[in-house]
Structure 1
Amino acid sequence: MRSGIKPRVNEAREFLEIAKDFKDPREIIREALSNSWDAGASKTSIRFDLAPIPGTQRKKIMVEIIDDGLGMNDEQRAAIGSSEIEGFFNLGDSAKPHGSIGSKGHGTKIFYKSLGINLETWKNGAKFTAVSDQPPWETLQKGVVPTYSLDDTKDNSGKGTRIRVDGFQAKQKDFSSLSELVDYIRWYTVAGSFGNYFNSPRRMDVQLKSLDISAPITVEYGFKFPVEQIDLTKGTASVCKLFGPTVVDCGITEEGKPIRVEIVGALLGDSQRDIVPHTYTQMGLWLCKDYIRVERDNEILEDVFGGQYYYRSVLLFANCQQFDLTANRNNIRTDQEEYDLAIKGIKDFSKQLWESGFVKGYFEANKVEREKQGEDERKQGEQERKTRATETRKQRINKYNGRAKLKSYGLVGQLTKEPQNEAETALLLQAMISSKHPGIDFVIGDYNTSYGVDLIVEKSDKGILTLKWVELVYLLSKLYEWEHPPEGYHAIVCYELGDVKQLQPFSDGQNSKLVPMETPGRYALLVGRDTIDVYVLREILENKP
């Protein structure tokens, strides 16, 4: 039996998969700032610019990162087996303590999603320049690990590190909003750390230039809660009740490792939540490591508080250095004894918070305010509805008073104003029938606008009662807007002709001819072989009997 067989690792595929784990292109900011922080930088600059792609009309994204940290050199690290510069390009090489953020050596691999990497760094009187030999992303996708070239010269003039990433694989919109990038830095990177609440003395401000501005702005280091305001008589919207900072001892693992969680947070009223970019997606409980928010877990607060509504007023950061992160740093592994102990400690703290008199008083006061606000809004809505109704009636009366008077003779119960639609035309027709106006020689038997022709009328023809199909329109010209000419009609009743020519085609191209008859207000509409009687009520009424 053979022994000592070593499994092979497909290096290019591992590089590719690690780089693919970074789903959000903005994670290049998080990784760059973490590296600068680890290098002891007090200032870091990140610029996003566009450059033309030769031979095309397209542009590529250029990223430049500069810090004033300790820099890197090419001296071998005995414990790691590689230099700092090699660790930047290698996969899995990190000098950070096991379990800390960045200890997996994956972060800088996001730089491989590009056309090229140019690294300049100064340390111990020397300048080191490392440049990728091939386009990293394209080369990895071919199954080959890209190489780089390294050069060093004596140089005491520089300090820190400069990284240029050529043609970073992302969409321009990912880096085109300054406000969104600032929110990302403050919320998801070391520059938004809340370590200041636990006596962390360091700070690192960030100079940021997004694609939508020409000059960089400064993003100040550290997360800050609003000034505490706990006077409920001023309204719950202005409340800021701070919790902590405090350290919770969560127990000891089977291996004897003590687990501690550092917690700080606040109960925030509506007007105090400007520190949170998106209330519905970012309020609640955050599990953190190295004082950086990693993953939101509101199921804990829902379980303790008894519903989703309550956590939207609470912002809690629970930092545990024993949390183990996934490769892309976006989640916390849950298959640890350390995780279980930490979560239990966080739940116990949350229960104490929920049972405090001030928290209960806040939510009771908030409930009263919301009920009053709802009642006020209901009353205001009702008043607005009444005002709109009054205004609508006033406008309708004014419009009615401005309409032309109907010229007619001998009608009983007639309209006093000229019709303006089909319904009013129908009312006028019935008034003329009821008044036995000589211009109308039929009576209405059935009126239905939902099925085909509007009217069935009864008409005496040489003493014989016959039924006729009659269409009712306000303007005869409306017929010519139909998809087909009138079919099967005996007559058409309208108030006015409208813009109708003597010879006029329908929309399907079939021609019609309108012929006036001897009786005023009566016409014959000739459509193909059909002759349709037309009654024009206005002309009939204007002819004095």
Structure 2
Amino acid sequence: MRICKPEVKEISLFREVAKNIVNPLEVIREGISNSHDADAKHISIVIYRNKSGKFVLEMQDDGKGMNFNNIQSFFNLGDSNKDNVGIGEKGLGTKIYFKSEKIILYTQVREGEAYKATMDKPWEALMSNMMPEYIVEKIKPSPGKIGTTICIEGYIIDNPEKYFNFDTVLDYILWFTAAGSFKTFFANYPELHKYVYNLQVAPRVFIDDKINCINEEIAGTHQFHPPQEKPKEDPYEVIYKKSVNYCRHFGPYHRATNINGEYVSFQLYGTVSGTNCRKKISKLRQGKSLKSRFGIYLAKDFIPITKATGLILEPNQHHFHLLLNSQSFELTADRNNITNFDDPKVKWVLEEAKKIINEDIVSLAEEGYFMLRKQEEIEHSLQDKRRSLYTRLAKFDKIAELGMDEIPILKSPDNEAQVALIFSALMANKISRKKIKHINKIGHYSYQSATDMVCVNQNNEKILVEVEYKLSNLFKHDHPYETFDCVVCWRVDLDVNEKKKMKDGNIMNLVYEDGEWLLKYGTKKMIPVIELSSIVDSLKNWK
């Protein structure tokens, strides 16, 4: 018997960690996490191209800096130098920096010790199945200046400005990094200070996009739109005039318990809000939507990690902006998902949070925001009906008079339904009925059926009748010739002997014989066409 140990292919592992990145902006997330864990109060993100035209991402902080051992841990895989379990606990994140042409690190600790570390062509080395090397040199410290600067040069990505520009970087920082945490909402809960570092502290973040010449300093806290429960109307909005500007906050909710002697807690905060409010706190990349961004997020260290499913029964959950934090969540190595959903602690968190969301938050949202939206939808529908009515009345005055006292219809038809109505009126009048051949009585009318009317002839035999405003419309609709025995139209707008192709490919020929219009399908079928306008004209002339 031999005892064996699994071997780790270090180069392959480094390469996979560097390559397995969901979003290129995770590079910034890792830099900010390291700065946060180093007690940084100010963090700068600088984007530019150097003199050689290489894209450079530079991250600076005023944290406690790194000594020589810290620098080694920074470049090593799975070697975290953090004493407390925190945001970068696994020591894997910074390895995504390796997908670049060069990494330069400048750092200085409070005692005045300063270093420069340079790793040249890390990705090229990994792709050549070689472990990249780095040089650490001691440099002259700058008086009173502590902290760390990391330069990532030539990050391997197509069109880096698409991801690394002011708007996308700002949005990502405030949504998915330690500089966009919502922990300050819970700073008044003393027990949480044992589990979350610097609960009351929010760093300042400076973004300098030198490529687009935009820079701004922001407070490093997650952005929620301010409360706005009595919103003003948006003059450009058609339906949701007020609700687009509505915003209601929920929380902070803090719940705690003990499971198997272990402290478990969760924190919940968020809003329900209209489109304008959600747009103001998110700068979405092209192709992304508010629906894909908003909803309920699970968070650890008060940083949103992944959208939650099953916590809310409301179908319009993208109107909510809710964040659920628990330090009991365990994360995947890339911090993009939760790994321990089956843990009793996590099950308790999710069940209790679900009760708050559906019994408290959703009910309040229904009474306020969603009721306002429903009222706006009803008002818009009523306005649409009013506008439609006014349009119809204006159009009515312009429709030509039918000019027949014998039937109770004032206007000439301008659509198929009106043709059916006039046809019924003509059939009901003893004088005009004599002008209509082939049909004795109307049996049934349906605009949803394959054929409009079922009628009977003088022999009480059922015949199928297609109704059209103009005869030419018959050939635009999907009516096989077998589905009708007669056509009733207001006007024949085709020429004698004109041939038309049906939708089914069959050719029909229009003829006029013995004072009657007929559609001929070879020798198989003769279909009478009753033109109502000529009947009306003949009755006028007869008078």
Q: Same fold (TM over 0.5)?
A: yes
Q: How does 1:64-463 map to 2 (within 5 A)?
A: 64-69=58-63, 75=68, 77=69, 84-97=70-83, 99-112=85-98, 114-121=99-106, 123=108, 128-136=116-124, 140=126, 144-150=129-135, 152=137, 160-169=148-157, 175=163, 181-192=169-180, 194=183, 197=187, 200=198, 204-208=203-207, 214-222=213-221, 280-282=295-297, 287-288=300-301, 326-329=332-335, 392=388, 395-408=391-404, 412-433=406-427, 434-437=429-432, 439-445=435-441, 447=443, 450=449, 454=453, 458=457
How far apart in 1 are the matches of 2:415 and 2:226?
65
Residue 118 of structure 2 aligns to a residue in which SS? strand
How far apart in 2 are the matches of 1:293 and 1:489?
64
The letter of the residue matching 2:398 is G
The answer as to whether partners of 2:47 and 2:211 remain within 8 angstroms in 1 is: no
Q: State the identity as a percent.
A: 24
Task: Give how far 1:32 is off.
Answer: 0.6
Counterpart for residue 230 of structure 2: none
Larger Rg: 1
1:542 aligns with 2:534: no
The answer as to whether partners of 1:406 and 1:416 remain within 8 angstroms in 2 is: yes
How far apart in 1 are the matches of 2:462 and 2:251?
83
Q: How does 1:7-26 map to 2 (within 5 A)?
A: 7-19=6-18, 22-26=21-25
How far apart in 1 are the matches of 2:466 and 2:71?
89
- Normalised to the residue count of structure 1, the TM-score between the two structures is 0.62
The answer as to whether partners of 1:175 and 1:210 remain within 8 angstroms in 2 is: no
Task: Give how far 1:250 is off.
Answer: 6.8
Q: Give the number of equivalent residue pairs.
A: 474
Structure 1 96/531 Cα, relative in aligned 2: closer, same or farther at 3 Å?
Answer: closer
Q: How does 1:459-498 map to 2 (within 5 A)?
A: 471-482=466-477, 486=481, 492-498=487-493
Counterpart for residue 34 of structure 1: 33
How far apart in 2 are the matches of 1:175 and 1:47?
14
Match of 2:499 among 496, 502, 505: 505
Task: Give how far 1:429 is off.
Answer: 3.6
How far apart in 2 are the matches of 1:104 and 1:375?
47
Counterpart for residue 243 of structure 2: none
Structure 1 457/119 Cα, relative in aligned 2: closer, same or farther at 3 Å?
Answer: same
The letter of the residue matching 1:208 is I
How far apart in 1 are the matches of 2:122 and 2:321?
51
How far apart in 2 are the matches of 1:370 and 1:510?
57
Counterpart for residue 233 of structure 2: none
How far apart in 2 are the matches of 1:466 and 1:71?
98
Task: Give how far 1:363 is off.
Answer: 5.8
The letter of the residue matching 2:295 is Y
The answer as to whether partners of 1:517 and 1:523 remain within 8 angstroms in 2 is: yes
Structure 1 49/11 Cα, relative in aligned 2: closer, same or farther at 3 Å?
Answer: same
Structure 1 542/145 Cα, relative in aligned 2: closer, same or farther at 3 Å?
Answer: same
Counterpart for residue 240 of structure 2: none
How far apart in 2 are the matches of 1:416 and 1:227?
59
The answer as to whether partners of 1:119 and 1:130 remain within 8 angstroms in 2 is: yes
The letter of the residue matching 1:458 is N
How far apart in 1 are the matches of 2:418 and 2:74?
84
Structure 1 176/93 Cα, relative in aligned 2: closer, same or farther at 3 Å?
Answer: closer
Alignment deviations for residues 144-173 of structure 1 (CA, whole Å, 9 cap, x no partner):
243135274855679742321423458869
How far apart in 1 are the matches of 2:30 and 2:220?
16
The answer as to whether partners of 1:457 and 1:470 remain within 8 angstroms in 2 is: no
Task: Give how far 1:367 is off.
Answer: 6.2
Residue 116 of structure 2 aligns to a residue in which SS? strand
Structure 1 276/542 Cα, relative in aligned 2: closer, same or farther at 3 Å?
Answer: closer
The letter of the residue matching 1:424 is Q
Residue 151 of structure 2 aligns to a residue in which SS? strand
Task: Give how far 1:220 is off.
Answer: 2.0
Task: Give how far 1:26 is off.
Answer: 3.2
Residue 155 of structure 2 aligns to a residue in which SS? strand
Task: Give how far 1:432 is off.
Answer: 3.8
How far apart in 2 are the matches of 1:439 and 1:72?
103
- Normalised to the residue count of structure 2, the TM-score between the two structures is 0.63
Structure 1 104/536 Cα, relative in aligned 2: closer, same or farther at 3 Å?
Answer: closer
The letter of the residue matching 1:133 is K
How far apart in 1 are the matches of 2:159 and 2:477?
50
The letter of the residue matching 1:404 is A
How far apart in 2 are the matches of 1:156 and 1:242?
45
Alignment deviations for residues 180-214 of structure 1 (CA, whole Å, 9 cap, x no partner):
64454345433245479359497642223579954
How far apart in 2 are the matches of 1:391 and 1:294?
48
Task: Give how far 1:65 is off.
Answer: 2.4
Task: Give how far 1:368 is off.
Answer: 8.5
Residue 498 of structure 2 aligns to a residue in which SS? strand
Residue 457 of structure 2 aligns to a residue in which SS? strand
Residue 147 of structure 1 aligns to a residue in which SS? coil
Counterpart for residue 237 of structure 2: none
How far apart in 1 are the matches of 2:339 and 2:507?
79
How far apart in 2 are the matches of 1:492 and 1:335?
67
The letter of the residue matching 2:150 is R
Q: Structure 1: any 5+ residue segments left out of the alignment?
A: 55-59, 78-83, 229-235, 254-258, 303-308, 355-361
The answer to which of 399-408 and 191-200 deviates more is 191-200
How far apart in 2 are the matches of 1:539 and 1:395?
30
Residue 469 of structure 2 aligns to a residue in which SS? coil
The letter of the residue matching 1:538 is S
How far apart in 2 are the matches of 1:225 and 1:376?
21
Counterpart for residue 239 of structure 2: none
Structure 1 492/103 Cα, relative in aligned 2: closer, same or farther at 3 Å?
Answer: closer
Counterpart for residue 233 of structure 1: none
Task: Give how far 1:116 is off.
Answer: 2.2
The letter of the residue matching 2:536 is L
Structure 1 397/48 Cα, relative in aligned 2: closer, same or farther at 3 Å?
Answer: same
Alignment deviations for residues 465-512 of structure 1 (CA, whole Å, 9 cap, x no partner):
9997765432222234356885697764432122x2345331368776
How far apart in 2 are the matches of 1:455 and 1:243?
66
The answer as to whether partners of 1:504 and 1:511 remain within 8 angstroms in 2 is: no
The letter of the residue matching 1:111 is Y
